Amino acid sequence: MNVEDAVFNDLFLYDSPQKKQAQIAKDHNVTEDDVRSIREKYHLTEAVKEIKRIRALWSNKKDFGLFTKFYKWYSRGICDYCGISQDVVKKIVESGKLTSKRFPAVDKKCQRGRSRGISLEVDKRKPGEGYLQKNCALVCYFCNNDKSDVFNDEQYMLFLVNRRKFLENL
């Protein structure tokens, strides 16, 4: 890893929000001005916004431990239920091939309350239980919305295979 990446990780990714600029500079053998310029260069980028978004998701899931552990778990980028990748879902929503009032508008106007769809979400496998790591699934909007608080994860996997058969056999 090059120095810029290492400083980036200390500034934005690792669990070191209280780590002082001076300490980061010392740890990576660069000047404080270097650290400052790396912060300036990246702090408004999409990559950092994405890290902040994932950190906000982690804020009520501290059972995962350190943020970096949650980040790694989240960054698999595959829906645990249907197997679709985050990249494909993002392209579908951004292209407007499927639309919803909950999705960000394609024309980017009026985004209030419209943040669903584009990113993978964290679902509680057993709806009545909390966000403990063992109860968390990484899921696409389509599965999360469909599963709702009706099914647990095992029921939902059967429902996905054959909806009618699953319902008739209840």
Complex with Zn ion: residue 6 or 160, whichever CB lies closer? 160
Q: Per-residue x/- marks for Zn ion, 93-132, CB under 5 A?
A: ----------------------------------------
Could you say which of 61, 89, 143, 147 contacts Zn ion (CB under 5 A)?
143
Taking the C-alpha atoms of residue 86 and residue 15, their distance in angstroms, rounded to an integer, is 25
Closest to 66 measured CA to CA, from 55, 76, 77:
55
- Work out whether 24 is an interface residue with Zn ion (CB under 5 A): no
Maximum separation of any 2 CA atoms in the chain, in Å: 68
Residue list 59-88, contact with Zn ion (CB under 5 A): 79, 81-82
- Work out whether 13 is an interface residue with Zn ion (CB under 5 A): no
Give the range of 5-13, 120-128, 133-141, 158-166 binding Zn ion by CB under 5 A.
133-141
Directed axis angle between helix 46-58 and helix 67-74, to 10°?
110
Smallest distance from the beta carbon of 156 to Zn ion, in angstroms?
10
Token pair for 63: 């059972």
Smallest distance from the beta carbon of 76 to Zn ion, in angstroms?
13
Helices (H), the chain: 3-8, 21-27, 32-42, 46-58, 67-74, 86-95, 141-147, 153-161, 163-168
- Binding residues for Zn ion, rule: CB under 5 A, are 79, 81-82, 140, 143
